[in-house]
């Protein structure tokens, strides 16, 4: 059974960097698939942030691309998201999921951007 | 960017009746490998999304056969027959055929 779990701070100050890590169990990231980050602002729809493969190849949403860094650590079976220069508009529940069709999701982590 | 437009955005349904949700794409969703990566997700209140349908019409394991997906070209539909109370939530379509992946706005299904 594939399981994903996100860790990271739930509160980030404006202009700082949001950092989250997704740990995968039940499947080796190095075996394939894409590994996605998706977010959902309170009361709103889903927004795809970006993805990474075990090779390190990434693709990010152009709307966020200049602020997003996605990395992978296959030795720890983890992948990570960094979003810099955050504002209140980045307040959302952040999800990690297995791509390309998001068949497995984590429980979601609420990240609030506030001073 | 591919824009997915769902309709309706709110769908009150009587228990036991059927419901249909439309997802229209701003362009065709055939991937270079020939597949169409159009998925449907159910998000119950307070929960993470759960994939129901992948590649237009393939039902995920454990998903009741009351849920079905269909469509081609730029028009896709999720149908729920014999709606039950546990079907309440928001339904999202997502395309993975073109970068960036995109979602529809979501359709809220509620019981009348």
> Which residue of A45, A51, A101 is in closest CB contact with B51?
A101
pLDDT band for A65, please (50, 70, 90 cuts): confident
CB proximity list for B85: less than 8 A, separation 6 or greater: B15, B111
What count of other Cβ atoms lies within 10 Å of the Cβ of residue A67? Answer: 16
**Residue B39's closest CA among B108, B102, B84?**
B102
pLDDT (tens digit, 9 = 90+) per residue, B34-77? 999 999 999 999 999 999 999 999 999 999 999 999 999 999 99
Q: Please determine, for residue B111, whether its predicted confidence score (pLDDT) is greater than 80.
A: yes
pLDDT band for B85, please (50, 70, 90 cuts): very high
The pLDDT value given to residue A8: 94
> Which residue of A46, A51, A100 is in closest CB contact with B37?
A100
Minimal C-alpha gap between A18 and chain B (Å): 21
Report CB contact under 8 Å: B96, A100.
yes
Residue A76 three-state SS: coil
d(CA A94, CA A15): 18
> Which residue of A45, A95, A99 is in closest CB contact with B106?
A45
pLDDT (tens digit, 9 = 90+) per residue, B14-40? 999 999 999 999 999 999 999 999 999
User: Considering only residues 62 to 101 of chain B, which have any Cβ-Cβ distance to chain A shorter than 8 Å?
Assistant: 92, 94, 96, 99-101
> Which residue of A60, A102, A107 is in closest CB contact with B94?
A102
Report CB contact under 8 Å: B50, A47.
no
Are residues B89 and B52 in contact, defined by beta-carbon separation less than 8 angstroms? Answer: no
d(CA A13, CA A86): 8
Report CB contact under 8 Å: A48, B101.
yes
Q: Is B51 on the interface with A (CB under 8 A)?
A: yes
Are residues B94 and B101 in contact, defined by beta-carbon separation less than 8 angstroms? Answer: yes
Which among A41, A46, A49 is the top mutation candidate for probing chain B, defined by the most B β-carbons within 10 Å of its own β-carbon? A46
């Amino acid at each position: 059974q594939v399981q994903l779990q996100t860790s990271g701070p739930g509160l980030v100050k404006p202009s700082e960097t949001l950092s989250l890590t997704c740990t995968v169990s039940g499947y080796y990231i190095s075996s394939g698939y894409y590994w996605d980050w998706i977010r959902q602002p309170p009361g709103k729809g889903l927004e795809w942030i970006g993805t990474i493969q075990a090779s390190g190849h990434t693709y990010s949403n152009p709307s966020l691309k200049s602020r997003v860094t996605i990395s992978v650590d296959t030795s720890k079976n983890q992948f990570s998201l960094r979003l810099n220069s955050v504002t209140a508009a980045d307040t959302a529940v952040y999800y990690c999921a297995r791509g390309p069709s998001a068949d497995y999701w984590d429980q979601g982590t609420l990240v609030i951007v506030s001073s | 960017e591919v824009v997915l437009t769902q309709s309706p955005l709110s769908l009150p349904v009587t228990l036991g009746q059927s419901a249909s949700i439309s997802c229209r794409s701003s362009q065709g969703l055939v991937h270079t490998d020939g597949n169409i990566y159009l998925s449907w997700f159910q998000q119950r209140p307070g929960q993470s999304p759960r994939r129901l349908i992948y590649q237009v019409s393939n039902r995920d394991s454990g998903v009741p056969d009351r849920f079905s997906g269909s469509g081609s070209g730029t028009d896709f539909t999720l149908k729920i027959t014999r709606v039950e109370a546990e079907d309440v939530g928001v339904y999202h379509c997502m395309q993975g055929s073109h970068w960036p992946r995109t979602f529809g706005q979501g359709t809220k299904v509620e019981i009348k």
